[in-house]
Amino acid sequence: MALEQIAEVPAAEAERAVRNRLSMVVFSGDMDRLMAAFIIATGAAASGMDVTMFFTFWGLQAIKKPSPTGRSLFGRMLGVFLRDIHGVGPSKMNFGGLGRWMFKKMMKAHNVTPLPELRRLAAELGVRMLACQMSMEVMEIRREDLIDEVQDVVGVATFLEEASRSKITLFI
């Protein structure tokens, strides 16, 4: 191996070095799982970590505007069920929407920060919010259907590169 090549190896390894970062795949659109994702993200960001959240499939509800989506018949049908952050329900005990109402009342009584406020706080703390390009294409969600705080629409390779340099990677 030539001396120049040997010198390039440490430089390349240093660039890929694990940093004080948290990378998170947000796959679920359930209220309790989104709460956990945003609580972890805001806690990590407040502690000085660089945080990236990659929203895919049902997780896109957390970063979607409250407008209908879809162009095709199936896309429009899916858009009826794909709500925004205000319409997500708990993963268990939803009871046709009654569970969502009950949990919101209980969280308010215990001074738990509501989900939309956690999302706003995450953006203020510099949490990078990325949307999955493939999921958006499949679910017929356009870039303009997402909230302004979303930094980019990217493919999985971009997220994997980010995660490879992270100290912690989570899937929620």
Q: Which residue has 């205000």 as its token pair?
A: 86
pLDDT of residue 7: 56
pLDDT of residue 13: 59
Q: What is the share, in percent, of the chain residues with pLDDT greater than 90?
A: 58
Q: How distant is the alpha carbon of residue 120 from its chain centre?
A: 13
pLDDT of residue 87: 76
Question: Which phi and psi (to 5°) does residue 23 adopt?
Answer: -115, 135
Helices (H) and strands (E) in the chain, counts: 7, 5
More confident residue, 74 or 156: 156
Give, as one character, the DSSP assignment of residue 125: T
* β strands within 71-113, DSSP E: none
Q: Which residue has 């995450």 as its token pair?
A: 122
Q: Please give the average per-residue pLDDT across 124-131, as a whole number.
A: 98
